[in-house]
Structure 1
Amino acid sequence: MTRPAFHITVHGTPGPQGSKTRNAAGALYESSAKVKPWREAVKSAALDVLSYDICWSPLREAVRLEVVFTLPRPKSHFGTGRNAGQVKPSAPQYPTGKPDTDKPDTDKLLRSTQDALKDAGVLVDDSVVTDTAAEKRYVLTGDDTLSHPGAVIRIWRLNTPKEASS
């Protein structure tokens, strides 16, 4: 496979974007307090990488976005006493179940990440993302997972080969 057009590692707890809550005055606000810090972390990591590429311009063509989100395990997954710090055998391998702060929806994690990539100037708009592959994993449980919460993000250009002229 070719090299990705863009590749970063982001450190911080991934925050989902999309669920809104109304306050007493009727104004809408993001339900997750993790959205803003996550978007800032993605934007900052992207800008750090882009600062070394003076010729970069936001991707305008169709792209494939691949993200491996590394989520922290809930405290309930760990033993106590002499088993403190060890994952219980009964703990789930994957972050599934009803969405909450420990198990956000993958599509909402992608939404906040894509918006941050747009804000950083990696993408001209999130509408250029035509293919996606996203994984949610716990810390150190698979390929591209980190030793702490965050994400590994790769973007490939999807160039359509030109037809050979006859």
Structure 2
Amino acid sequence: MTTTTIVCAEPATGTARPDLEFIVQDHRPAPQGSKKRGRNGQIIDDCKRLKPWREAVEAAAKNAMNARWLAGNGEESLDGPLSVEVVFTVRKPVSAPKTRITWPTTRDSGDIDKLLRSTFDALTNGGAIADDSRIVEVTARKVFPGEGLDALDAPGAVIRLWKVAAEVTSR
């Protein structure tokens, strides 16, 4: 009898070093989800920030992959089951309290699932991952600038990816 044990070699919530880690700085995370019909009947994304966000993530992913390749750890893209951690730093509203830490729970901060969708597609287009269907584990947070673990000083994101290893043992 053969049993399969799934082991995340570098867990997203642990302190072990990720297979790929990079920061997208000075770009406001944008959701991908809602669509609207344009003047000529074409379907376009509802969020005008989506294209610049995806381009920024793609560029950062390409740079990180190039650095990984130059360091001798390179491959075309991360493939197989993957674990991903993303910390989105979103813009803090003017009306939010200045003297205490708060959570980005307003509509303006975006739905976390739609933020992930745009980011995962950009990771695929940027060559960091073979396909976003390879992602089997996700840890995601939204924070305001300077407020919380891995919060940046301006809108952007910290992205970490780990390969998940499957070990096969016999009994």
Deviation at 1:88, TM superposition (A): 6.0
Q: TM-score, normalised by structure 2?
A: 0.82
Task: State the partner residue of 2:103.
Answer: 94
How far, CA to CA, are the matches of 1:29 and 1:20 in structure 2? Answer: 6
Determine if contact 1:77/1:88 at 8 Å carries over to the other structure. Answer: no
Q: Which runs of 5+ in 2 are unaligned?
A: 1-13
How far, CA to CA, are the matches of 2:76 and 2:38 in structure 1? Answer: 39
10-19 vs 24-33, greater mean Cα deviation: 24-33
Q: Deviations over 1:20-74 (max 9, x none)?
A: 0112433211111111111111111111112223332212210111100000111
Which residue identity is paired with 2:54?
R
How far, CA to CA, are the matches of 2:151 and 2:99 in structure 1? Answer: 19
Which residue identity is paired with 1:3?
R
SS, match of residue 62 in structure 2: helix
Runs of 4+ in 1 over 4 A off after TM superposition: none
Q: TM-score, normalised by structure 1?
A: 0.85
Task: State the partner residue of 2:88.
Answer: 69
Which residue identity is paired with 1:56?
E
Deviation at 1:136, TM superposition (A): 0.7
**More strand per residue:** 2
Does 2:24 correspond to 1:5? no
Which residue identity is paired with 1:94?
W
How far, CA to CA, are the matches of 1:72 and 1:53 in structure 2? Answer: 30
Identical counterparts, % of pairs:
39
Q: Deviations over 1:96-120 (max 9, x none)?
A: 13x3xx2210000000100111011
RMSD: 1.7
Task: State the partner residue of 1:37.
Answer: 52
Task: State the partner residue of 1:17.
Answer: 32
Task: State the partner residue of 1:144.
Answer: 150
Select 1:59's aligned residue among 65, 78, 94. Answer: 78
Task: State the partner residue of 2:113.
Answer: 107
Does 2:133 correspond to 1:133? no
How far, CA to CA, are the matches of 2:110 and 2:104 in structure 1? Answer: 8
Task: State the partner residue of 2:64.
Answer: 49
Q: Which runs of 5+ in 1 are unaligned?
A: 79-86
Which residue identity is paired with 2:66?
S
